[in-house]
Amino acid sequence: MTRFFDERGMLLQRQGRIGFYVPSFGQEAIQIGTANALKAGDWVFPSYREPGVFISRGASLFKMLCNLWGNRSDVCKGRQMPNHYSFADLKLFSVSSPISTQVIQAVGASLASKLRKEKDIAITYFGDGGTSENDFHTGLTFAGAMKTPTVFICTNNQFAISVPTSKQTGAARMADKAIGYGMPGIAVDGNDVLAVYKATQEAVDRARNGEGPTLIECVTFRMGPHSSSDDPTRYRDQALYEAWLKRDPIQRFRQYLESKKLWDQKQQDILEKELKATLADAVEKAEAEPAPSIETLFEDVYSEMTPQLLEQKAALEMEQELRGKFENTSEAFPL
């Protein structure tokens, strides 16, 4: 479903039906492998490239699609760019665009679990580029010092937009960084869903048993662009891309299942048809939703509107009466 969702997201953007999309092509095994190693009560702090984690944790496809349109049924009420989901009821933390801010926040959530003597752990996701930000370092420093029940998933897809990992760090492996923070660091094949699942399961067990945090580096390759605004052919070696194409994580898992006689073409066809129908139905419903109402602009800034916001809301309502409709003056995202 993650692959289909991403394909549909990119298509909707190319058709001009949504403004922007961030695909996760090639990174499905990491999302599915890690998410399935969690329990329902665990906290998840994703980056903007983990739709599969949301889907695996049971987020509504319709609600996710509403976020792509930023419409009235979008949980975020049309305030964020596409791919910035939020599902508090599923403990899926609101996605931010600034890089790695969620890493230290996940440590805080897991520390709270520890202090409250609950068994829930926190898992957080970030990329290879994310390991350079301050919040990555503080996150792992605090987690190591406080022995929090946190699992750090570094999706090393080898590019931070255009910047290759070789320019991001002098370290041979991102997993090597763990030693400096006083926690185990493991590197796994990020295109092998079972390897990712096993490594995550062990780290989750350690966290739940009070043995502290773990850094897992999932080595993969970003098969798509950074976003719908990016053109990877400007900076990415085509031969490298083609080599990784042969390691498609979904194909690999399918071949494995077929070799064990657990799966066949017929089952595949039935599943694909079913997933596509479910997705098409959700797309149709989401696209039909109207834009958020103007008063939503003023909601949720504070728990209650301040006098200034009430005044600005009244002024905007008066202006609307005067003008009728507001002209949409937005230009296309120039990135």
Partner 1 sequence: MANLTLVQAVRDALMTEMALDPTIVLMGEDVGLNGGVFRATEGLQKEFGEERVMDTPLAESGIIGLALGMALNGMRPVPEIQFMDFIYPAFDQIVSEVAKLRYRSGGDFKCPMVIRTPYGGGIKGGHYHSQSTEAYFAHTAGLKVVIPSNPYDTKGLLIAAMRDEDPVLFMEPKRLYRSLKGEVPEEAYTVEIGKAQVVRPGSDVTLIAWGAMVPVCLKAAELCEPRGADCEVIDLRTLVPLDEETILESVRKTGRVVIVHEAQKTCGFGAEISALISEKAILSLEAPIIRVAGLDTPFPYTLEHIYLPDPERVALAVGKVKNF
Residue numbers at the binding site for partner 1 (CB under 8 A): 19-20, 69-71, 74, 76, 78-81, 84, 96-99, 129-130, 132-135, 160-163, 167-169, 229-230, 234-235, 291-292, 294, 296-298, 301, 306, 308-309, 312, 316, 319, 322-323, 326-335
Say whether 235 is catalytic: yes
Q: Pick between residue 206 and residue 226 the one whose CB is nearest to partner 1.
A: 226
- Min dist CB 249 to partner 1, Å, is 25
Neighbours of 309 (CB within 10 A): 15
CA-to-CA dists, residue 107 to 124, 183, 274, angstroms: 9, 14, 38
Q: Among residues 3, 57, 206, 226, which one is catalytic?
A: 226
Q: Among residues 222, 241, 247, 256, which one is catalytic?
A: 222
CA distance 7 to 229: 15
- Min dist CB 156 to partner 1, Å, is 13
Say whether 222 is catalytic: yes
Q: Pick between residue 268 and residue 326 the one whose CB is nearest to partner 1.
A: 326
- Min dist CB 248 to partner 1, Å, is 26
H helices present in 260-328, as ranges? 265-287, 307-323
Q: Pick between residue 71 and residue 220 the one whose CB is nearest to partner 1.
A: 71
* Backbone phi and psi for residue 281, each to the nearest 5 degrees, phi listed first: -65, -45
Say whether 241 is catalytic: no
Q: Among residues 206, 235, 236, 247, which one is catalytic?
A: 235
- Min dist CB 79 to partner 1, Å, is 5
CA distance 22 to 180: 32
- Min dist CB 54 to partner 1, Å, is 18
Exposure of 117 in the CB half-sphere (CA atoms within 13 A): 0
Gyration radius (Cα) of the chain, Å:
21
Q: Pick between residue 14 and residue 167 the one whose CB is nearest to partner 1.
A: 167
User: Where in the sequence numbering do the catalytic residues fall?
Assistant: 222, 226, 235
